[in-house]
Structure 1
Amino acid sequence: MWYMIAILFILLFLNFPMMIVLIVPALLMMLIYAPNLDLVMFSQQLSSSIESYVLLAIPMFIFAADIMVEGRTAKRLLDFVNDLIGHVRGGTGIVAAATSTIFGSVSGSAQATIAAIGRPIRERALQYGYSDSHIIGNIVNSAGIAILIPPSIVMIYYGMLTGTSIGDLFVAGIIPGLMVFAGFSIWEYFIAIKKDIPVEPKATWGQRWKSFRKAILTFGFPVLILGGIYSGMFSPTEAAAFSVLYAFLLEVVIYRSVKLRDIYRIAVSTGVVTSIVFILLAAGGAFSWIISYLRIPQALTETVLSSNPSQLEILLIMSLFFLVSCMFVDSLVAIAILTPIFFPIASAADVHPVAVGILITMQATLGTVTPPFGVNIFTASAIFKKPYLDVVKGIVPYIIIFIAINALLIVYPEIIMVYQNIFGTSKGG
């Protein structure tokens, strides 16, 4: 098994396409340890890994996010949040984090969040005395909150793999997401005092009401997604379809910021992104299937539990594996490979599947903002046309906050489960 992992990392560092990185070791394991298996079964697993009805939510959420990035949703949100809290000490930085959190609940995509609000918030922050590295670090990390709150593609995929309620995952992710936002806001407040960063003029209540009226329809997205799923009105997949319709009506019909002729171009772009995601999911699913067939997860579970580790030790090891993996490969790929290995171990240690899912999502979030291959770093580098090292320079304080909250959730996973006391059990699948 270990030399297969070595082959995987060798292919990764030799810059082979991720599909090859996953398929070659999986095929080698199959040919060496299960030579009697028909290769047709392997090809069938490639297709069956992406046949789940639940996965239809992924392209639809991506499509809805692409429509909103093209339109005015982000600007309206930014104007409203800025009028509301921009005048407080550190307000511009807090506005960046708050807008990223809200837009994340609309789009579910960290990259879409950077693309939509990155430029306007950066320009505004530079005008008020923020250094470029400071505000870019804020944007890169705040955008990651989109992965922690619904509609999170990572949660959808984890829920599909493990049979965990996606509705429960969506709601459970809100508390960690707000904790990260609160941590960033506290940092912005104190660093603004230390550096004596000027505050923005205070908006009048008339201005706030005006910007709120412009942004109010945007808040229909989280209400639609969470309210619909949790009330049992529709499934996560149906919620994704409604989000596309809502985005279309909002941007094309009401705001008229997107032309009807633009929808085809946006759909093509969504199709390209979706095809890449699903190729990775197919390859990851095949890899997951062969290690499950060879009973590697079961063997590891027996080995790990034979030494009677504590629940904390299991969660620490699991989180470390996921974090390191998500630093080097796409989070969906890491989840496809590692979830079949660690989920049975965590379940045997009586860790709730929702808590496991949120902790995994937390590592995926950290992986997007952590060098060397954090995708948010490269996205910001492309959007702001800044060198990699310039982008990395400002992310350290936020990563420390992320890690501190991550450690807190690992030590006290019951924090994640607080949602049960508030909402009960989800009706969504």
Structure 2
Amino acid sequence: MATTMLLIMIVLMLLGFPMMVPMLVATLAGFLLYLPNLRTDIIIQQMISGISPVALITVPMFILAADIVTRGRTANRLLDLAMTFFGHIRGGLAVTAALSCTMFGAISGSTQATVVAIGGPLRPRMLKAGYEDKFTTALIINASDIAFLIPPSIGMIVFGIVGKVSIAELFLAGIGPGLLILVLFSAYSVWYAWRKDLPLMQRATWKERLAAMRKASLATMFPVLIVGGLFTGMFSPTEVAAMAVLYAFILEVFIHRAVSLRDLPAIAYSTGLITGIVFILVGAGAAFSWLISFAQIPQQIIGGLGLADAGPYTIIFAICVAFFIGCMFVDSIVVTLILTPIFMPLVLAAGIDPVLIGTLVTLQMAIGSATPPFGCDIFTACAVFRKPYLDVIAGTPPFILLLLFASLLMVIFPQIALFLPTLAFR
């Protein structure tokens, strides 16, 4: 059964069908060929059940907030703020890129939006300052992936729903690894600048820094609102998402006046389109997950791989490898929907903290989104920067190695991810 479903999915993907079609067709084939006595309307019931959790309300709201700020001035103000404090050091422009991607990711939660918003204005400055094109592009792509970890993260929302893990704890758990990756990327950027002997920029005065802080002060309230609301227990993830939309609307429409009321229908259309895709994937994934669970395919796969009696580190390694390879080829949400039901029973049986697993899985999603052959951020960069595919991926290996090193550190020192959730909720 598992082999047949896998072959159906591979063939349909090679034929160019959108991912929800292979998942649904494979699920229907599994029902008809191997479970003919079950009513096929169970598929519809499971799809509806999959998109019913209240936590999924956060998805369209975070997407809407990201769409609003992407069209506004928030990205440029964050960029200017980072530039005034770090632009003068050796490798300061690269550090500014990594920091700006982190700050904007804390607002948008979208890697692709971060590539567009930060990469668009910053890449020409870095090229003019003497940075190699392949380094610049790779840094922007991979630093944008910190948006997967810094809340809000749609990947964490999907994992939390499928794996039945607290989304609030997952959000807080992503902060430590996100900051760790920022430090690693910044250190590598400084080393690169010293090795290339890149020129220093003029140091900003404190007057310029204070002016940049004043202009960006309202933008920096986004992470305070999200993280502070969750950490104090004042807001649930759903309420935080609603507050993010309200704050983005007030900030860009009435204060910055960068978005007009006439722009809102186009923004709503974009949000609805992305949300529709995500919800169809989640619904199809729920039906697929129910079928493989009913047929006990996860137990067969785990038994075949010899993981049933494996230790915690072996299980964690297997999960990281599976998600890393899967996200290299298929959309990360799809990989999460397929693999999470397979591994979660094993995680719980082994006594591994599911929040740690969720954070590691999200990090593999981040790595996969910028890893050849099919990382989504690669194709976003190709379109935004108008660069060939091979040129875009040329500089990615060092950053991928740093991300894998961050994964290793999280396994060895789980408190990198678990410190804040433990402090807030346990």
Contact 2:302–2:308 (CA<8 Å) still a contact in 1?
no
State the match for 1:341 in structure 2: 342
Query: d(CA) in 2 for partners of 1:297 and 1:79?
Result: 49
| Aligned equivalents of 2:258, 2:116: Cα separation in 1 | 17
Structure 2 segments unaligned to the other structure (5+ residues):
none
| Cα contact 1:68–1:74 (8 A) shared by 2 | yes
Counterpart position of 1:41: 42
SS of residue in 1 equivalent to 2:261: coil
Are residues 1:405 and 2:391 paired? Answer: no
Write the distance in 1 (CA, Å) between the matches of 2:192 and 2:343.
Answer: 39
CA separation of 1:420/1:18 partners in 2, compared to 1, >3 Å: closer, same or farther? closer
SS in 2 for 1:223: helix
| Cα distance between partner residues in 2 of 1:260 and 1:378 | 31
Q: Secondary structure at the match of 2:351?
A: coil
| Letter of the 2:326 counterpart | S
Q: What is the Cα deviation at residue 78 of structure 1?
A: 0.1
1:367 aligns with 368
1:92, CA displacement in angstroms? 0.3
Give the match's secondary structure for 1:201: coil
Any idea what SS the aligned residue of 1:424 has?
Answer: helix
d(CA) in 2 for partners of 1:306, 1:349: 10
Taking every aligned residue pair, what percent have the same amino acid on both sides? 47
Residues 22 and 283 in structure 1, CA contact (< 8 A), matched pair in contact too: yes
Deviations along 1:318-377, one digit per CA (max 9) or x if unpaired, are 111111111111111111111010011111111101001001101100110000000000
Separation of aligned partners in 1, 2:113 and 2:298: 35
Report the counterpart of residue 388 of structure 1 in structure 2. 389
- Structure 2: how far apart are the matches of 1:214 and 1:333? 39
> Shift in Å at residue 310 of structure 1?
1.6
RMSD value, Cα: 1.5
Deviation at 1:103, TM superposition (A): 0.6
Alpha-carbon distance in structure 2 between the residues aligned to 1:269 and 1:8:
28
Q: Distance in 2 between matches of 1:415 and 1:378?
A: 31
Cα distance in structure 2, aligned partners of 1:180 and 1:65: 22
Q: Deviations over 1:180-216 (max 9, x none)?
A: 1111111100110110111211000000000000001
List aligned pairs for 1:148-227, cutoff 5 A: 148-227=149-228
Q: Name the structure 1 match of 2:314.
A: 313
Q: Give the Cα separation in 2 of the matches to 1:379 and 1:420.
A: 33
1:201-350 alignment, distance < 5 Å: 201-300=202-301, 308-350=309-351
The answer (yes or no) to whether the contact 1:305–1:345 under 8 Å persists in 2 is no
Q: 3-state SS of the aligned residue for 2:201?
A: coil
Tell me which residue corresponds to 1:425. Answer: 425
CA positional deviation for 1:123: 1.4
Mapped contact 2:231–2:424 kept (Cα < 8 A) = no
SS at the partner of 1:323? helix
Q: Deviations over 1:115-159 (max 9, x none)?
A: 111111101111211122111111000000000110000111111
User: 1:277 and 1:52 mapped to 2: Cα distance?
Assistant: 14
Alpha-carbon distance in structure 1 between the residues aligned to 2:91 and 2:281? 40
Give the drift of 1:36: 1.0
- State the Cα distance separating 1:308 from its structure 2 match: 2.6
Deviates more, 1:253-262 or 1:14-23: 14-23
Q: Distance in 1 between matches of 2:153 and 2:262?
A: 29
Residue 99 of structure 1 pairs with residue 100 of structure 2? yes
2:130 counterpart of 1:125: no
- The one-letter code sitting in structure 2 at the alignment partner of 1:424 is A
CA shift, 1:397, in A, is: 1.2
Paired residue secondary structure (2:199)? coil
- Asked if 2 retains the 8 angstrom alpha-carbon contact of 1:118 and 1:139, the reply is yes
Aligned partners of 1:162, 1:323: CA distance in 2, in Å?
18
* Pairing 1:80-95 to 2, within 5 Å after superposition: 80-95=81-96
Distance in 1 separating the partners of 2:421 and 2:240: 21
After TM superposition, the score normalised by the length of structure 2 is 0.96
Stretches of structure 1 that go unaligned for 5 or more consecutive residues are none
8 A contact 1:80–1:208 mirrored in 2: yes
**What's the counterpart of residue 54 of structure 1?**
55
- How far residue 176 of structure 1 moved from its aligned partner, in angstroms, is 0.8
8 Å CA contact retained: 2:69, 2:248: yes
2: distance between equivalents of 1:417 and 1:47?
Answer: 33
Tell me the number of residue pairs that the alignment of Structure 1 and Structure 2 aligns. Answer: 425
Equivalent residues of 1:61, 1:240 under 8 A apart: yes
For 2:412 and 2:15, locate their aligned partners in 1 and report how far apart those are by CA, in whole Å: 37
In 2, are the aligned partners of 1:62 and 1:270 still within 8 Å (CA)?
A: yes
**2: CA distance between counterparts of 1:305 and 1:130?**
47
Tell me, yes or no, if the aligned pair for 1:301 and 1:344 is still in contact at 8 Å.
no
Instruction: Tell me, yes or no, if the aligned pair for 1:167 and 1:226 is still in contact at 8 Å.
Output: no
Contact 1:326 1:364 in 2 (8 A): yes
Taking structure 1 as reference, are residues 414 and 207 closer, same or farther at Cα in structure 2, changes over 3 Å only? closer
Give secondary structure in 1 for the equivalent of 2:88.
coil
CA contact (8 A) 1:33 1:294 kept: no
Q: Which residue of 2 aligns with 1:63?
A: 64
User: Mean alpha-carbon deviation: is it higher for 19-28 or for 204-213?
Assistant: 19-28
